[in-house]
Structure 1
């Protein structure tokens, strides 16, 4: 009888432990396991399992392995289809975040850090409205021009078709008499071969890593930054113990910084490799930045006014933070 009782107690205890353990489904937009972003997400999962003693485990799924489009990751997280995610295409659900991506507004790492700090409370609230908790994120290197034609200044964009990833990037191209075109990443190589586009805005460690053979020229003019967020479904996050919430937040903060640093290192590595493979790399001409800033500054204001008072306030906060 005693043996039965002890067995029953052990079984009950095991059941309680199992019930308390959380097994989350994680997702990332990237379909390539060797990128800094995916490696970082996997490190987060490994560290969380270790540092919570197995109370929280996260299984990371690569982009396209679940029936979730890249543009719907934030929504899928809020709806509980996934519990944890990295999202680069979140601005469709949280459009005010695009303040950080306005061309020529943020021009260096110091400005980015100040601007993001100013925007973080606004972003946290905006994600919360989607039933999503913003945990952190990481940043890609600056977006520069890779082309099939040689450039010595921004004036050389005139008449050329450039693939962009946002309407704001498109406005930059238009200001220099180019034609912005929106395409998925999978369409870029064929479009370059067929002359549908003449170039792309990306990073050496980004799209150029895969498309460099079609892009013989790189003009190192930085147009804007792109960033990803790391998020969780608010319901499952709130259900964690306060201790495990802190563990997850701290790990995401640390790994977000590591992913950003790895991207910056890879940018220089890829830039060197692309030059050695024959790509002609040209530094930005003196005066181009001043001209571009002058052209785009009125657009920042118009963009904010068109979107509403909260956008005007957000832009004002960012400009005050970076002194522009």
Structure 2
């Protein structure tokens, strides 16, 4: 090879190396989710991370890990605070043991009949500000709130009324949802989401407050719980997309704005995509003679909401933030004729 050719090749290699260095991410973060790998919500969260990298032109790189990859689901708050993780995308109800407000804000059971109402409350009526008032003392900042949509309720026993919940062994996470099912006469069992399938298969539980219909069907839950309640009426958990507060405080304003915009996009895309999946899978499931989809009558839904409202009032008195959230969300619901 001629010297000039070698020089040209060397120059090209140096320029390529310089370009690679120039394009290296300024911020590299690891976020843990509350889903197992392969679930639709997990894939949507991975797509969000890819979107962030594109929107930031490579300045931010985020690795998305499944539930329990680094710590257990109820330990990510401390992991983000300490820097073991830089962020998480999870249901705040997992942290009810830290403060009851996490359970109340994370899943105000029986409150929402449409996820878009919940997102409107969080984005435009003070919900996100209240959540940050709660979480920032833990060294964590909420970038934005998302939601999976109304969950269905797979059950091995038909539940056609609230009375049919009596004695029903139902998987429920700790917090308000657990207490409300207990008040409705069910027997809640605190199992992690990763154990719902085996719990139904082995009869440890009869039903599960878990996730949306399409995901339940894809995971085979209806093989053991062929009486799903749909559309959902009980649970609409928040997905808190959060970052270590020290990292957040040190970001330039343009990246803060970009991250907030990216989470807003994730929130609405997640609701729309999961609803579309649900409608498609429900149509298919209705053709299966071994599955009976139960739509709880309106009067029974009202009974459940009244049980839930009694629990809301009890939780409201637990501390300053639970009372503030109760007053805020009830005012929103009343102003929008949702009560």
Does the TM-score normalized on the shorter chain lie above 0.5?
Answer: yes
Cα drift, residue 18 of structure 1:
7.5
Contact kept, 8 Å, 1:44 with 1:255, in 2: the verdict is yes
Cα drift, residue 250 of structure 1:
1.5
Cα drift, residue 208 of structure 1:
4.7
Contact kept, 8 Å, 2:26 with 2:60, in 1: the verdict is yes
SS of 2:141's partner is: strand
Say if 1:267 and 1:165 are closer, same or farther in 2 by CA, change over 3 A: farther
Contact kept, 8 Å, 1:78 with 1:130, in 2: the verdict is yes
Say if 1:52 and 1:315 are closer, same or farther in 2 by CA, change over 3 A: same
Q: 2:54 aligns with which of 50, 59, 75?
A: 50
* d(CA) in 2 for partners of 1:256, 1:114: 11
Q: Give the structure 2 partner of residue 284 of structure 1.
A: 296
TM-superposition CA deviations, 1:159-188 (whole Å, max 9, x none): 322221233223332333221111123433
1:209-220 alignment, distance < 5 Å:
209-210=218-219, 211-220=221-230
Q: Give the structure 1 partner of residue 285 of structure 2.
A: 274
* d(CA) in 2 for partners of 1:311, 1:213: 39
Q: Give the structure 1 partner of residue 187 of structure 2.
A: 179
1:12-91 alignment, distance < 5 Å:
17=22, 21-33=26-38, 35-65=39-69, 67-89=70-92, 91=94
Q: Give the structure 2 partner of residue 166 of structure 1.
A: 174
TM-score normalised by L of structure 2: 0.81
**Mapped pair 1:142 → 2:166:** no
Contact kept, 8 Å, 1:36 with 1:262, in 2: the verdict is no
Say if 1:55 and 1:280 are closer, same or farther in 2 by CA, change over 3 A: same
1:219-258 alignment, distance < 5 Å:
219-220=229-230, 222-258=233-269
Contact kept, 8 Å, 1:70 with 1:89, in 2: the verdict is no
Runs of 4+ aligned residues of structure 1 deviating over 6 Å after TM superposition are 13-16
Cα drift, residue 121 of structure 1:
0.7
Q: CA RMSD in A?
A: 3.0
TM-score normalised by L of structure 1: 0.85
* d(CA) in 1 for partners of 2:147, 2:316: 23
Q: Which runs of 5+ in 1 are unaligned?
A: 1-9
* d(CA) in 2 for partners of 1:251, 1:137: 11
Cα drift, residue 284 of structure 1:
1.3
Task: Give the paired residue count.
Answer: 315
SS of 1:27's partner is: strand
Cα drift, residue 107 of structure 1:
3.0
Say if 1:15 and 1:123 are closer, same or farther in 2 by CA, change over 3 A: same
- Answer 1 or 2: which has greater strand percent: 1
Contact kept, 8 Å, 1:142 with 1:225, in 2: the verdict is yes
Cα drift, residue 298 of structure 1:
2.0
Contact kept, 8 Å, 1:140 with 1:260, in 2: the verdict is yes
* d(CA) in 2 for partners of 1:80, 1:156: 46
